[in-house]
Amino acid sequence: MITGDTFNEQTIIVTGTAQGIGKACAELFTDSGATVIGADIRDQSETVSACSAYSGTFQPVTTDITEQSDVDAVVERAKEEGGIDVVVNVAGVVTRSSIEAYADADWDNSLAINLTGPFRLIRAAVSELKATNGTVVNISSIYGHIGRDDRSSYASSKAGLDGLTRALAAELGPDGVRVNSVSPGFIETPMTEPYMDDDSVIADFLEQTPLRRLGKPSDVASVVGFLASDASAYVTGETILVDGGRAKSE
Ligand SMILES: NC(=O)c1ccc[n+]([C@@H]2O[C@H](COP(=O)([O-])OP(=O)(O)OC[C@H]3O[C@@H](n4cnc5c(N)ncnc54)[C@H](O)[C@@H]3O)[C@@H](O)[C@H]2O)c1
């Protein structure tokens, strides 16, 4: 169970913290005593304000996860706090197109943010993670597990992220570093806002989802918290679906 001091004295890098799932993760960790270095390309003032209510501290760092120099700056900022205990890769984008119309630039951007960004951040932080016996949590997607039309780059990047998770769990386990991922289904965030006004899309999702509701950012953050904490000390290379049961039902 995550309590008010579960992450006391810990330094946690979270990407994508300006809104949505990343913001919920930042709130959970600061509510449990952590210093969170929040890396996002957007303005993070809402997250700064939300986290100010908690015992931990939130430090925003303007970051484009596709730029190695920005990634290095985030890691340096975290090192100034004394080390890195947890890295959570949340930043992501979804691009939709049929295969015929898919532009190279959209494909490349999707992989750069959703897959190469996490790879580079973990690579930059790995010596610190080995020193703390730290953990990594990557945010994947249900579409890394099941097929969906018009999402080929998104699905490929997320399946790749799950592959990265398993490979690094095997590589870093002997050093005491755990690497896991969380695969959300439909979560109400700015990313899914465009669908919220389409009653038929929402009705379809609810019909296909055994728990009969959409997910909340906090539904994902609480599983991230579990995987980042000692409560999951013997779990690595795992992907946990947070999708109301959708991927495992007909
Ligand atoms: N919302 C869902 O239904 C859902 C479902 C499955 C997976 N996910 C995954 O969860 C993660 C968070 O999704 P969300 O719904 O909170 O999305 P969101 O769009 O609300 O937030 C994504 C955040 O990532 C940031 N970001 C984008 N590109 C960046 C870059 N180059 N560098 C740094 N930051 C960047 C954005 O500024 C934004 O704050 C994503 O990886 C997404 O693929 C979301």
Q: What is the secondary structure of 31-100 as a DSSP string?
A: HTT-EEEEEESS--HHHHHHHTTSSSEEEEEE--TT-HHHHHHHHHHHHTTT---EEEE-------B-TT
Sign, CA dihedral 72-73-74-78, equals positive
Question: Average of pLDDT values for 18-32?
Answer: 98
Question: Average of pLDDT values for 91-108?
Answer: 96
Q: What is the pTM of this model?
A: 0.98
Q: What is the pLDDT of residues 27-60, one digit of tens each?
A: 999 999 999 999 999 999 999 999 999 999 999 9
- Has residue 91 been placed in a domain? yes
What SS3 state is found at 105?
Answer: helix
Nearest CA to ligand 1 atom 18: 191
Q: Over 90: is that where the pLDDT of 121 sits? A: yes
Instruction: For residues 217 and 104, give the distance between their C-alpha atoms in angstroms, rounded to a whole number.
Output: 31
In the block, tokens 């210093």 appear at 35
Cα of 206 vs centre of ligand 1, distance in Å, is 22
Q: With pLDDT > 90 as the criterion, what percentage of the chain qualifies?
A: 98
Question: Average of pLDDT values for 221-240?
Answer: 98
What CATH number is attached to the domain comprising 59?
A: 3.40.50.720
Ligand 1 atom having least distance to the Cα of 17: 39
Paired tokens of 93? 């984008």
pLDDT at res. 250: 84
How many domains does the chain fold into? Answer: 1
- In contact, 178 and 136? CB cutoff 8 Å: yes
- In contact, 117 and 91? CB cutoff 8 Å: yes
Neighbours of 92 (CB within 10 A): 26
Cα of 117 vs centre of ligand 1, distance in Å, is 12
Q: Which helix (H) or strand (E) holds 132?
A: helix 117-132
Choose the residue to mutate in 191, 192, 205, 219 for probing ligand 1, maximizing ligand atoms within 8 Å of C-beta.
191
Q: What is the pLDDT of residues 199-230, one digit of tens each?
A: 999 999 999 999 999 999 999 999 999 999 99
The average confidence (pLDDT) of the chain is: 97
Which among 54, 102, 143, 154 is annotated as catalytic?
154
- Has residue 6 been placed in a domain? no
Domain span holding position 50: 11-188+217-242
Nearest CA to ligand 1 atom 34: 40
102 is catalytic: no
- Has residue 1 been placed in a domain? no
Q: What is the pLDDT of residues 181-196, one digit of tens each?
A: 999 999 999 999 999 9
pLDDT band at 174 (very low <50, low <70, confident <90, very high): very high
Question: Average of pLDDT values for 98-108?
Answer: 97
- Has residue 209 been placed in a domain? no
- Has residue 206 been placed in a domain? no
- Has residue 193 been placed in a domain? no
Instruction: For residues 152 and 95, give the distance between their C-alpha atoms in angstroms, rounded to a whole number.
Output: 9
Cα of 67 vs centre of ligand 1, distance in Å, is 17
Q: With pLDDT > 70 as the criterion, what percentage of the chain qualifies?
A: 100
pLDDT at res. 94: 96
In the block, tokens 């080929």 appear at 152
- Has residue 44 been placed in a domain? yes
- Has residue 211 been placed in a domain? no
Ligand 1 atom having least distance to the Cα of 23: 16
Paired tokens of 46? 């809402």
pLDDT at res. 1: 83
- In contact, 151 and 145? CB cutoff 8 Å: no
Ligand 1: residues whose CB is within 6 Å? Answer: 15-16, 18-22, 40-42, 63-66, 90-94, 113, 139, 141-142, 184, 186-187, 189-192
Q: What is the pLDDT of residues 52-84, one digit of tens each?
A: 999 999 999 999 999 999 999 999 999 999 999
Question: Average of pLDDT values for 230-236?
Answer: 98
